[in-house]
Amino acid sequence: MKRKWCNNRFINLPLASIAMAAIFIASVIAYSGCDFSDTGDSGLSLMPALSDTQAGIVLDEEDVDFYTPPASVPSGNHGDIIKYREASVTIPGAPDFQAWNVMYISTDALGARNVVTGTVIVPTKSWGIFSNRPIIAYAIGTHGLCQTCAPSVQLEAGIDYENENLAQILNKNYAVVITDNPGYTIGGTPTYMSGKAQGQALLDMVIAAMDLSPANLSDNADVAIWGYSQGGQTASWAGEVQSEYAPDLDVVGVAAGGVPANFFAVAPYLDGKNGSAFLLETVIGLWSQYPDGIPLPDLINAEGQAAVEKGLSMCVFEALFEFQNDSLSQYAIGNMSLDQLMAIPSVNATLAAQTLGENPIEVPVYMYHGTSDEFIELEQALVLKEKYCALGVNTSFMVFEGEHITTQFQASPYVLAWIEDRFDGRTAVGTCGTSNPRPVSTANPPEGDFIVSLNEWALDAVVHLKTLMQRVTMPSTSTFSCDNNMTTKTLTGNMSVPEFKANINVILPLQVKMRITGIGEDALTGSVTLDNEGNLHVHGHMMADIRIQSISAFGIPIGTYVHTKDPVDFPIDFDGPISALGSGKLTFTGTTRFPGMTGNILFNALFTSLMSGSGQTFEFTVSPPPPREW
């Protein structure tokens, strides 16, 4: 029987002793779920809701056995494998590959040995005999604190929201290793955003992969480190500690995007705003790693206890909307403000210990950030770049016209091209000496509704005329703009298609100048939702007028101005991974009906017969703008 498993280590709260005993019993039987029942006075219960209808990923007994750590950390070195197994991993768009789950020894932020799990993926296509297959150590972004949110579990289910980036890596024929990060074993609590622990776990994942005999990876292989958001923090920390912690690894470059580099700048940008879930999860994760530094049981009220329970039970997209715009003060004893909480000496010291840029990275660094990032403040990332430059780090920085989620996938082709250059031994040319203007945030307000905006993104649009059996391609300067309000689940937008020429072959070859214009300020309206598995669902209608400005034959004007009598309804539908927003794979395809034409009495009937009727198909693909160097 499969059962959903989510651990909750929140046992330091002042609970009745009988409840504590029940918690202990629940923690040693494989029957816990990610939902918890409420039993009254304390406001906190870790007793699992034993429901047969629990939603989400479930672990079977074999999975529970694998993710259960040994009673104590075995002797050995960090990076040593404790156990491994072949893994069934699903990554859409990837070539054939083999995969393994690994449990290995690592070191937490306080120097204690710990046990971590992860995944090794190697393409089945052979690598050249004169060099070693390169390895990308991929640091995942926020997945959530429930054990079934672990990347290795999500990869097995085929629903990991970072699959697009992993597929691109594997299509380069590189090996990729992904740590789950500390705390995703049975009975653990993730030490979320504990940078040093995450960085060391990533480096040890590489060491373990090199020691995994069926993977056939060389311990002399070139290694590149890549991560975004939480993964950007992990990648940066791995880069900063690598020379001392794992000096034998041949690391050739570090790519880190959307980096939360300074918690004193990032926390106010999240508190009470769209990304407040990430702040709550950070508090829980840092408490798990630094229980003395973040004395969470002494700082939260009953509402805070309930929020912690929920936070420990959810994956990233569910938590994002559950805690949106919540302030830490509503969870704190005496409703202490964020500033008051951060001023507590032990809390202040714990947050300061996560600050990046205090130590150099000895290999080239590629940093990137979205100018419209509503979760991780842009300016503190720019400051990190300046700190690395001041330390002599060969640093490049690119800014993308996207918000937090879209930038992760906008950047991946550029990141991979940069990494490929490092693997090929090309010299990295940094941007520390740039004279380009300092980037400025263009983010939507981080408080209120969570709105993902696409502002004048490239529109690659084609219409197939059924009667003529001809293809009309709109100009490359066409653009698409929309606001995706993820809170209200509404979509508004428009498209801009400049006047363009098209050839229409009837009895004579006609050349027409056409214009397609959205009707009204919001020609596009509809719904948009983001589900708990990271899938985007867009359903709407773009209402447009199709107008033929002029008609000529053999260069001789013979007529002007006909247009559709009624608006053309282009159905805008997409169901797919959130990565499509930034990867250039946001494509709307469909069938529509063109109404009759009016305007020029001599040509109305001709163009009505040629262009009108049902069965007209179209394909609109929306792509992000290119980045800028800083």
Query: Is the pLDDT confidence value at 20 over 70?
Result: no
Find, among 470, 453, 471, 451, the residue nearest to 461 by Cα.
471
pLDDT digits (tens, 9 = 90+) for 508-517: 677 878 888 9
| Cβ neighbours of residue 167 closer than 8 Å, sequence gap 6 or more | 91, 92, 93, 94
Are 546 and 568 in contact by the 8 Å Cβ rule? The answer is yes
Give the pLDDT of residue 509.
76
What confidence tier does 492 reach under pLDDT thresholds 50, 70, 90?
very high
Among 41-55, 248-262, 573-587, name the one with the lowest average pLDDT: 41-55
- Residue range 94-98: average pLDDT? 98
Residues 372-428 pLDDT 10s: 999 999 999 999 999 999 999 999 999 999 999 999 999 999 999 999 999 999 999
Q: Which of 59-63, 106-110, 339-343, 602-606 has the lowest mean pLDDT?
A: 602-606
The larger pLDDT score, comparing residue 243 to residue 609, is at 243
Tokens of 403: 């918000």
List pLDDT tens digits, range 346-368.
Answer: 999 999 999 999 999 999 999 99
* The pLDDT value given to residue 329: 97
How high is the pLDDT of residue 56? 63
- pLDDT value of position 458: 95
Least confident of 36-50, 447-461, 528-542: 36-50
Distance between CA atoms of 8 and 188, rounded to whole angstroms?
8
**Per-residue confidence band for 17, with pLDDT thresholds at 50, 70 and 90:** very low
Whether 253 has a pLDDT exceeding 80, the answer reads yes
Residue 398 structure tokens: 């690119």
**pLDDT above 70 (res 53):** no
Mean pLDDT of 147-172: 96
Structure tokens that stand for 139 in this block: 């640091």
Exposure string over 481-510, b if 16+ CB within 10 A, otherwise e: bbbbbbeeebbbbbbebeebebebeeeeeb
pLDDT of residue 21: 32
Q: What confidence score (pLDDT) does residue 243 get?
A: 97
pLDDT of res. 226:
98
* 332 confidence band (pLDDT: 50, 70, 90): very high
pTM of the predicted model as reported, rounded to 2 decimal places: 0.90
pLDDT at 435 over 90: yes
Query: Residue 34: what pLDDT?
Result: 56
Residue 344, pLDDT score: 98
For residue range 208-241, list pLDDT tens digits in order: 999 999 999 999 999 999 999 999 999 999 999 9
pLDDT for 428 equals 97
Write the pLDDT tens digit of every residue in 460-481. 999 988 877 888 899 999 999 9
Token look-up 């609109």 returns 620
Per-residue three-class SS string for 27-40: HHCCCCCCCECCCC
pLDDT, residue 510, reads 75
Alpha helix segments (H runs only) across 439-591: 580-583
pLDDT at 3 over 60: no
Q: Name the average pLDDT for the chain.
A: 89
